[in-house]
Chain A
């Protein structure tokens, strides 16, 4: 007997199956950690350098993400507040997002010689902001009118409206934009750390391996980086997205 899509959905959403999924995720995590330890132990990778590099890169990406998030929310809300402003600035930002942020590197490195950290974070912020910004703009344009009216009728104005209505209703799109932006940040950070000649970072570490032609170690290092990013995605972003979309507005 073949189950219909509806029956399948009801089956996998049942508490019993959700618990099984959680158990499976924990098992996968444990397996990933065991593989990680195995690879590090037998591959002559400098675990301390690798992990400290990852932590440094993680902090840079996180700071850049937070700045990009705050800026994206402010800009999106300002743009969509007025149709005339939107018609002027939206095409401008649309064009600006195509500008390759790496092209700014030589200027920024020259201008901020003693601040490679600042250069990296600035470049990352410029990279991460676009998916979040356009995701929020899309969310603002598609938000339910009756919910807007209900918020207005029941007295949600100013800052109270922002925190009790606007941000909650935008949460699903903020998270989807953040997932994309975060991913793009990690794509860029390796190159950014190499170009800015950061003292510590995953990009710096992998760069050294590459320079010393330690190809196998480089491959292992990249594999471990992928594993770590997978864990962040699986245990942070996806559960957050699931929670947010659980309570998305019904059309």
Chain B
């Protein structure tokens, strides 16, 4: 594995039992994730994006192949439907990972406070998730992930449950955080435009069984001009690829 890479995915395959047979979801997936890059995985529904992300996050095992890390990293995840613990308040949710790490109370308090402020959640510390809007819930989800200072942040379609305006705002916040904190981000998106706006590289997966169809480096300056010809060229290229594969 090259020194600048943090994750290497080699020949990963995964199947799930369906109606008595094994349904192949991922087949011979190979790619590498570079340190501190923002990588997006896109593809049609059912191509195994979420499965691949969960394999990389060590939530489900591979059938064949392997996932290698340069060293055992601290990982965190932001979920599509927020996955906030409903019995905990905002500050308790943000503190969850820190509590599991066994950090001292003062350190927990400090990090919770920092990340609540960074995500614009000040004043909502004692609220429960059911009292929050979707956008606020996802901010809590992101704050919870950032609190443990992850080296790799996995995001599973984090904006798909939000309205257009909230999603747009959160994307900008996420970009700022990524640029500031210098972590590696691997994100799943079903929106090609979103992937091109945010990522250094985009990986296009084929429909099930998912395999890597294209790895495209996005050579556009940041902040990305979403109305530029170059931006649309990337969108057209990848959309065409996904459409053809359908």
List residues of A whose CB falls within 8 A of some B CB.
Answer: 144, 146-147, 149-157, 160, 164-165, 168-169, 171, 246-250
Seen from chain B, the residues whose Cβ lies within 8 Å of a Cβ on chain A are 54, 57, 59, 75-77, 79-81, 83-88, 96-97, 99-101, 128-130, 144, 148
Contact of A164 among B54, B81, B86, B99 (CB under 8 A): B99
B residues less than 8 Å from A250 (CB atoms): 86, 129-130
Residues of chain A lying within 8 A (CB to CB) of residue B87? 168-169, 171, 247
Closest residue on chain B to residue A168 by CB atoms: B87
Docked-complex contact B144 and A149, CB < 8 angstroms: no
Cα separation A170 to B59 with both chains bound (whole Å): 22
Contact call B148/A154, Cβ cutoff below 8 A: yes
**B residues near A146, Cβ cutoff 8 Å:** 79-81, 83
| CB of B196, distance to nearest CB on chain A (Å) | 27
Q: Which residue of B lies closest to A249 (CB)?
A: B86
Q: Which of A147, A149, A160 is B85 in contact with, Cβ under 8 Å?
A: A147
19 contacts between A and B (CB under 8 A): A146-B81, A146-B83, A149-B54, A150-B84, A151-B85, A153-B57, A153-B59, A153-B76, A154-B96, A154-B148, A155-B101, A164-B96, A164-B100, A168-B85, A168-B87, A168-B88, A247-B130, A248-B86, A250-B129
Give me the 6 closest cross-chain CB pairs, A-B, nearest first: A155-B100, A154-B97, A150-B83, A146-B83, A247-B87, A247-B86
Query: Inside 8 A of A157's CB, which chain B residues have their CB?
Result: 100
A156 CA / B77 CA spacing, docked (Å): 14
Give the docked Cα–Cα distance between A151 and B100 (Å). Answer: 9
